Structure 1
Amino acid sequence: MDKRTRADLFRKRLAEAMNAQGCSKSELARLARVDRSTIGQLLKDDHPRLPNAQLAADAAQALNVSADWLLGLTNRPETPGDLVAAAMSLSPAERSSADAQLLEWHHEAAGYKVRHVPATLPDILKTEAMLDWEYATSRREHLPDAFDAMRDQLDWLASGVSDYEIAIPLHEIEACAAGSAYYKTAPKAARHAQLRFIADQCDEMFPRLRIFLFDAQRVFSSPVTIFGPNLAVLYVGQCYLAFRELERVKSLTNHFDWLVREAEVDARHVAAHIRALLPS
């Protein structure tokens, strides 16, 4: 970009930022500690000029935009700190399908494929009996909301608004069937009914619902949900770590696709695999 082109772009972007902030020439001059005539010269369209580095930085700070954007070095007007905050953020996690933040993200992803690696079994497919057992020792007052939210999400999935792919470790299904590890205290009837429900949903909603089972001894994943192409969320316990920067979302999408490629049980065979673990 030659000097005149850059100067013209600076003039246009400076005027745009001033209009967005409702900032007059006099006010910007005061904030940038220069004469009003200096700001006027920067805004003249017949002889555009570039400011010195100090004035460019002061004007950008006063208008809450990036100096790089004013100078045509980037197309994002946000300051670097704001860009980082937008690209990666922490949100409180309730670990419940009734979590308002989770519901908001699901609606935001309407029309896109949702890819999900759950912390246990997927909340969207949990039965009332399984939720009742999970909420027995804490958060029991939230159980009705959680079950209503689960049913709403299942109805949303059945409507075909978005495709849903879920990757689950084989050992999670096996532990639920056997009543071991996390499911050691869960009633047998609740465990087996839960797995039959998942198998039934696999049959009824394929291909918009596809579940893949992977061997965690060979491949590994933390709990993660990728809401279309613009948002990926890691569950880390008491909070969600959300990424909106394109390359980070792509990386986590590629990670999920790797889980699918390495799956021991393909989506077409998951229902049969689950039923084989249960008594006839």
Structure 2
Amino acid sequence: MDKRIRADVFRTRLQEAMSLKKVTRSALSRAANVDRSTIGQLLKNDYPRLPNAQLAADIAGALSVSTDWLLGLTNRPEAPGDIVAAAMSLSPAERTSADEQLLEWHREAEGYKVRHVPATLPDILKTERMLQWEYASFREKRLPEAFAAMQNQLQWLSSGVSDYEIALPLHEIEACAAGTAYYKGVSRDVRFEQLNFLANQCDQMFPRLRIFLFDAHRVFSAPVTVFGPNLAVVYVGQCYLAFREVERVKSLTNHFDWLVREAIVDARDVPFHIRSMMDQ
């Protein structure tokens, strides 16, 4: 960039940052430890002036912007650490589906497709008796919260505000039908009620709701949800790892789409497959 053009960019962005932060020339000169006239010279448009590295850094620090932005090297005014924090964050995760953060992300995704790989069967499609078994070790009041949240999410899905795609490993259905692995100890009635409900919802809400079954021997995924084009969340147990940087969201979207392409049971066939497994 030509020096004159860079000086114009610097002057314009300096004025913008001072106006936004409501910082006067005198206040900025004190914060940067220079004379007020030095700041005045940088703001004049009659001759290209650029600060030295020390002054540029001091001004950027005083205005809470990045030096790179002031000098026209980036269009992001935030400091690098703030950019990273905005692009990726950790949020505490509750076990219950009534988690306020999770509900807020669903509201944020209204109008967009939600792509979801659950840790077990999807919470949004669980029966009350299955939730009773899951939350047996929690305080009693958590179950009503979890069930009410699930019902609200199901109504939200039924309203057609957003499409919902779920990629689920086939062994999750098999384990629920057989009462093995995670579902060991769940009564047959509860398990079959759950699978019937899942199959019925797939029938009734297709194509708003689409579930694809993949073979975990061939492909794998950690629990992840992509809320439209602007947010992707990985569930790691006690916390959510949330990504808002566009390229990271695209990468996780592509990962989900790969699971769908590799699915061994298509969404149209999932209800029949679940009922066949129960019969067997």
TM-score, structure 2 length as denominator? 0.98
Shift of 1:266: 0.5
Q: Aligned partners of 2:41 and 2:162: how far apart in 1?
A: 53
* 1:85 counterpart residue number: 85
Shift of 1:2: 1.4
Shift of 1:45: 2.5
Shift of 1:3: 1.2
CA RMSD of aligned residues (A): 1.0
Shift of 1:20: 1.3
Gaps of 5+ in 1: none
Q: Aligned partners of 2:188 and 2:139: how far apart in 1?
A: 22
Contact kept? 2:175, 2:182, Cα under 8 Å: yes
* 1:188 counterpart residue number: 188
* 2:33 counterpart residue number: 33
Tell me the secondary structure at the aligned position of residue 264 of structure 2.
coil
* 2:200 counterpart residue number: 200
Counterpart mapping for 1:1-280 below 5 A: 1-279=1-279
Tell me the secondary structure at the aligned position of residue 140 of structure 1.
coil
Contact kept? 2:192, 2:278, Cα under 8 Å: yes
Change (3 A) 1:278 1:99: same
> Could you list the per-position Cα deviations for residues 184-207 of structure 1 after superposition, in whole angstroms to 9, with x for gaps in the alignment?
011111111111111111111111
Shift of 1:86: 0.6
Contact kept? 2:223, 2:234, Cα under 8 Å: yes
Contact kept? 1:128, 1:147, Cα under 8 Å: yes
> Could you list the per-position Cα deviations for residues 81-117 of structure 1 after superposition, in whole angstroms to 9, with x for gaps in the alignment?
0001111110000022200000010111111110000
> Could you list the per-position Cα deviations for residues 183-231 of structure 1 after superposition, in whole angstroms to 9, with x for gaps in the alignment?
0011111111111111111111111110000000100000000001111
Q: Aligned partners of 2:213 and 2:18: how far apart in 1?
A: 54
Contact kept? 1:114, 1:226, Cα under 8 Å: yes
Q: Aligned partners of 1:189 and 1:137: how far apart in 2?
A: 21
Contact kept? 1:229, 1:246, Cα under 8 Å: yes
Q: Aligned partners of 2:96 and 2:45: how far apart in 1?
A: 57
Shift of 1:264: 0.8
**1:269 maps to amino acid:** D
Tell me the secondary structure at the aligned position of residue 278 of structure 1.
helix
**1:66 maps to amino acid:** S
Q: Aligned partners of 2:250 and 2:100: how far apart in 1?
A: 25
Stretches of 4+ aligned residues off by more than 6 angstroms: none
**1:67 maps to amino acid:** T
Aligned length in residues: 280
TM-score, structure 1 length as denominator? 0.98
Shift of 1:274: 0.3
Gaps of 5+ in 2: none
Tell me the secondary structure at the aligned position of residue 69 of structure 1.
helix
Contact kept? 1:124, 1:150, Cα under 8 Å: yes
Q: Aligned partners of 1:164 and 1:227: how far apart in 2?
A: 10
Contact kept? 1:41, 1:48, Cα under 8 Å: no
**2:130 maps to amino acid:** M
Shift of 1:148: 0.6
Tell me the secondary structure at the aligned position of residue 232 of structure 1.
strand
Shift of 1:47: 2.6
Q: Aligned partners of 2:97 and 2:138: how far apart in 1?
A: 15
Contact kept? 2:3, 2:48, Cα under 8 Å: no
Shift of 1:9: 1.0
